[in-house]
Chains A and B, each alone.
Chain A
């Protein structure tokens, strides 16, 4: 059952991911991204990451996507114009497939069967465990991330300021 659900949601994520890239209208791409994020949330839930699944839905599929769509509408972005395709355009797809093939081969051949994921084995994905890890072992990365966000805000202000006096 779990494996079947995994296959379904993984397929949704991949199809939406491809759709995100091939669509020419930004709104269609953004909506595909919602699909990717929703499917990922379901995958996290299957693996026992309850908190991550909820955060994925609330933060990414909810808040961030709304911002994305607002920006697209504010900019009034229309359908993307496709220019002449360079050789990279054609070489990219086969090379990407080659990379994925190599990775898939590596994982299926080399990974011992005993290391496979067992659904339901991991149980420490709840808010309590996450919170405890976040404020004890991972306290420093958690705090330093606030500086990262501060730098991003500062950068956005520098680049978007009305005029340089």
Chain B
């Protein structure tokens, strides 16, 4: 029997955030069965936020003692800790943003919160995994929870369509990922990322086959980050899913998928970087173009934000193409900036669309600034950050990414990316114009003030967006310290 058969207490401490999240989810499931009236069920939201904060503390303390855990299945380095904290923070904002929505749509709360916690658990496993098997299991936990969340309002046909499309296409993409894993195992005899790297560096294994395996795995990851040409699902799913869930899906699973994309391609496939770089280059460009040009034609705000989310995935792919330390740090910063911005934007959309999500057309936002000036101002901040205007998080995100791309001699990709972000400004500004300069229609007539938890979510996101935009240094420092080499 191997000596390391029994995990040490240090290894359990490194895995503590995941344990806390699992316990939180299970406790909520049990309480759901015990609690019968609505007043008791109000506890689920605060309870899951407590669980998330406990997990956040655990992951911060785990960051102080980096190392591997459970026979190298996990590696808790700075990179893993950064993304763990990010997805847990996303979870807190997502839950704050959905409390009012749950009440308004009379959705049962127990399973919803349990699913969010499990989804974040899966993302935490993904970002700290050092083994393709762990990556797959984490990805599946996160994905299955996401599929169900997308169809949570069972009686709404839009939700059904969204969940079914997400599930079928997602399973198909996962099959590609597994096929790639099988190839890599056949080539190198290992599923451990460090060992794969070692095998690809030294052995005479045919590198063209390793490149093909990397391409298969990129299909799987590319689906999760909605990179073109695997982006078809995103608009339909984001449009059909409940608005707070769309917000969560557009940042949480995406950030985790980018984390493993970076880790797998920079660690395991690092030695064959010159083979996959052209592929990711093309994908990054296609993703930016498809996202931005399709977003121009949308009349539904959720669809527009979905295409915008595709375009932003393209910008992060530019950083992945650079596959340098600065590129990795830039991607980390961008994902954090994008998380605050997009969660905030979706929280405002959640608030504005009201019961049954009646008001989701862009024209419905006419005159919002006169009825709800505070909310309109917050949405303005988020849109400016999505454009990348200075003093918002989006500006420094784009700045670092294009700087990293220039450092890696990706001049053409940088130029095309900058042109793309100029195109993007048009559709974000159009929404601002509608909001501020059009006469209010009847859609804003009976708009009630937002609930407390939604307001907290919106203001916290706006605070984060501005904080990263005015003082980007401290997050960038953390990202640079913990970036992949």
* A110 proximity list for chain B (CB < 8 A): 206, 208-209
Check: B13 CB closer than 8 A to any chain A CB.
no
| Chain A CB within 8 A of B155 CB | yes
Chain A residue numbers with a CB within 8 Å of B34 are: none
Q: Considering the complex of A and B, which 3 residue pairs feature the smallest CB-CB distances, nearest first?
A: A155-B148, A140-B70, A110-B206
Closest Cβ neighbor of A140 among chain B residues: B70
Contact A141 B144 (CB under 8 A): no
Q: List the B side residues contacting A91 at CB < 8 Å.
A: none
**Restricting to A112-165, which residues have a CB under 8 Å from any CB of B?**
112, 132, 135-141, 144-145, 147-148, 150-152, 154-155, 157-159, 161, 164-165
Are A140's CB and B73's CB within 8 A?
yes
The answer on a CB contact under 8 Å between A106 and B209 is yes
Whether the pair A103, B111 counts as a contact (CB closer than 8 A) is no
Residues of A within 8 A of B131 (CB): 141
Q: A138 contacts which chain B residues (CB < 8 A)?
A: 71, 73, 133
* B212 on interface, CB distance cutoff 8 Å: yes
How far, in whole Å, are A148 and B142 apart by their CA atoms in the complex?
9
Known: A112-B204, A136-B2. A144 touches B137 (CB 8 A): yes
Indicate if the CB atoms of B154 and A159 lie closer than 8 Å.
yes
Q: How far is the CB of A99 from chain B (nearest CB, A)?
A: 11
**How many whole Å from A136's CB to the nearest CB in chain B?**
5
In addition to A138-B73, A154-B115, 20 A-B residue pairs with Cβ atoms within 8 Å of each other are A107-B209, A111-B206, A132-B1, A136-B71, A139-B70, A139-B71, A141-B73, A141-B134, A144-B18, A144-B125, A148-B122, A148-B141, A151-B144, A154-B29, A154-B114, A155-B115, A158-B111, A158-B148, A164-B107, A164-B108
In the assembled complex, the CB of A101 is this many whole angstroms from the nearest CB of chain B, namely 13
B108 closest partner in A (C-beta)? A164
Cα–Cα distance between A106 and B133 once the two chains are bound (Å): 25
Q: What is the interface of chain B mostly: helix, strand, loop, or mixed?
A: helix
Shortest distance from the beta carbon of A2 to any chain B beta carbon, whole Å: 18
Known contacts A106-B208, A154-B29, A154-B118: A148-B70 contact under CB 8 Å? no
B369 to A: closest C-beta gap in Å: 36
CB contacts (< 8 Å) of B212 on chain A: these are 103, 106
Within the complex, the shortest CB–CB distance from B26 to chain A, in Å, comes to: 8
Known: A106-B208, A147-B22. A137 touches B141 (CB 8 A): no
**B291: chain A residues within 8 A (beta carbon):** none
Kindly list chain A residues whose C-beta atoms are within 8 Å of the C-beta of B152.
Answer: 158
A64 to chain B, nearest CB (A): 16
Instruction: List chain B positions with a Cβ less than 8 A from chain A.
Output: 1-2, 4-5, 7, 15, 18, 22, 26, 29, 69-71, 73-74, 106-108, 111, 114-115, 118, 121-122, 125, 131, 133-134, 137-138, 140-141, 144-145, 147-148, 151-152, 154-155, 163, 204, 206, 208-209, 212
Is the CB–CB distance between B148 and A159 below 8 Å?
A: yes
B194 CB, min distance to chain A CBs, angstroms: 14
A: contact size bracket: 20 to 34
Partner of B115 from the list A106, A144, A151, A165 (CB cut-off 8 Å) is A151
In the complex formed, the residue of B with least CB distance to A114 is B204
A136-B141 contact in complex given A158-B111, A158-B115, C-beta closer than 8 Å: no
Main secondary structure of the interface of A (DSSP, over half): helix
A111 and B144 within 8 A (CB)? no
B147 and A155: CB pair below 8 A?
Answer: yes
Q: How far is the CB of A44 from chain B (nearest CB, A)?
A: 13
Q: Output the least CB separation between B279 and chain A (Å).
A: 15
CB distance from A138 to the nearest CB of B (A): 7
When chains A and B are docked, how far (Å) is the Cα of A38 from the Cα of B152?
37
User: Is A155 within 8 A of B2, CB to CB?
Assistant: no
Q: A154-B148, A155-B145 are in contact. Are A161 and B137 (CB under 8 A)?
A: no
| Contact A151–B141 (Cβ < 8 Å) | yes
Chain A residue numbers with a CB within 8 Å of B134 are 140-141, 144
Residues of A within 8 A of B118 (CB): 147, 150-151, 154
Complex: how many Å from CA A140 to CA B18?
A: 12
Interface residues of A in 82-123 (CB under 8 A from B): 103, 106-107, 110-112
Q: How far is the CA of A159 from the CA of B122 in the complex (A)?
A: 20
Q: Whole-angstrom distance from the CB of B294 to the nearest CB of chain A?
A: 20
Which chain A residue shows the least CB distance to B155? A164
- C-alpha gap A135/B71 in the complex (Å): 11
Closest to A152 in B: B144
CA distance A77 to B144 in the complex (A): 26
**Cα(A103)–Cα(B114), bound, Å:** 42
Is B133 touching A141 in the complex (CB atoms < 8 A)?
A: yes
Q: Provide the residues of chain B in CB contact with A144, threshold 8 Å.
A: 18, 125, 134, 137-138, 141
Complex: how many Å from CA A161 to CA B108? 11
Are the C-beta atoms of B144 and A148 separated by less than 8 Å? Answer: yes
Q: A106-B209, A151-B145, A155-B115 are in contact. Are A165 and B108 (CB under 8 A)?
A: yes
Q: Which of B1, B70, B73, B111 contacts A157 (CB 8 A)?
A: B111
Interface pair B206/A112, CB less than 8 Å apart? yes
Asked if B209 and A111 make an inter-chain contact with CB atoms under 8 angstroms apart, the answer reads yes
Nearest CB in chain A: distance from B123 CB, A: 12
- Per the bound structure, the CA–CA distance linking A111 and B115 in Å amounts to 44
CA distance in complex: A140, B14 (Å): 13
